[in-house]
Structure 1
Amino acid sequence: MSEIFDSIDRTAVPAHIGIIMDGNGRWAQKRNLPRTGGHKEGVNTAREIIKAAAAIGVRYLTLYTFSTENWKRTAEEVSFLMGLLKAHLRSEFEFYKKERVRVLHLGDKTGLPADVIREIESVEKESRDFKGMNLVLAINYGARDEIQRAVHRMCGAEPGGEKGDIGRFFDIPSLPDADLIIRTGGEKRLSNFLLWHAAYAEFDFTDILWPDYTKEDFYASVADFQKRHRRFGGIDGEKK
């Protein structure tokens, strides 16, 4: 293992890390490849980062896989991405099983192709008793869309019942707030990702395109996170 891996304090690993995996298309264009080539390479990177996160004890890793805005891309690219998602879910299941990684879906399933929905639900069901890291795949996901759907669910709750926190009506009610959000590709914005859960998240923006992002880059981001002082709106000396 690398020196930076060994330097990470296992007692202070962020419990929930979200990653905006940006730069696949630009990575491909720089190499005179079709955009689909970048997406293929991006899947390989995702596999390595999932392994890296599990190795240091991250409890939740959320990958921004396909947004509600990504439907605006060409029909050819969208079709390719849907096929890639389906193939990845099935081909990686043995790894999830070995590492006891539980797979969860975040987003609106109703807008997805039927065969992709079946694959998502199959992997969710087969991994639901795994006690390792929770891998959250944000597919057909947008934070505003999730919040809107949560409000509709809350308003439709049983009359006179206990409505409580709106978080109870989110896609994954047990999903904790994000501690660290990483975005590759050089952009410095959230792009409708985990808006509610990112209220007190730390951010790491890097110019590295997603297919070039390595586990050492990931560990460096975690190590930097551990140097930050989080006050959650308070001041030094006060309790959170």
Structure 2
Amino acid sequence: MQDSFVLGSAADAGSVRRINGEDRQMESWFPSPAARRENCSEKIGSEFDGCALFPLFVFGGLLLLAGFGFFLDAYLGPVGWVFGGGFTLFGALMVYLPIHLMMVQSRIGTSKVTLSVQPLYLGETFQVQFVQPVKTSVTLNAVTFELICQEQVTYTGTFKSKNGRVSKSTKTKTVFSEKKVLAVSGTIDPREKIRGELEFTIPEDAMHSLGDSGTGIGWKLNVLTDIANWPNHGGQIDVLVAPRSVRARPEA
């Protein structure tokens, strides 16, 4: 589902808020009158076949061999240790990633997360439905959901004459977090699916989704499937929260 959004001036959009000791002009995205509030489904995880993972595995193996080659070359001295360590580290990582993905996909499939409605209003309660197929019998420890709101602020520093640019730094802070566990666990057979439903509530006094040149507020839902004695499977989806004033508007 594709929602349409416009940059508007609701009651709290275009207002000035004090963030980290600075007055900032807020710009917010909210649904246009033509956009309907509907449920929204997203898939977490991707299915990779062997052909897609094999080149990554081979390239990682070549990096490992190059790293060992630097280690064995006594004439390079410290340089050999530096290059050898770097090649070995990246090679091991690139070999591990396809193995990890193949292990995960050998037992569980792509999960589907459905939000009862999007965009959400401040103070609104919404339902989250979760469905994930399994390929072999697994022991499920837990499926954990975490609703988070993060504030990202970009600080502008001094002008640097060497490169002709103004220095900038970005900091991200989690301003809200709530974690819940799906009420399902134990042995799941291939003919079954990991499935369940739970609720979250957007706090009434929270900030809606917004973004401008210096500040961003983003809502996300993290999902993690914990399988006993097996690599975890997880992902993240975006959650859109509309300004408070939009709720009073009649929907088209």
Q: Which has the higher strand share?
A: 2
Alignment TM-score, normalising by the size of structure 2: 0.18
User: Relative contact order (C-alpha < 8 Å, sep 6+): which is higher?
Assistant: 1
Larger Rg: 2
Higher helix share: 1
Provide the TM-score with structure 1 as the length reference: 0.19
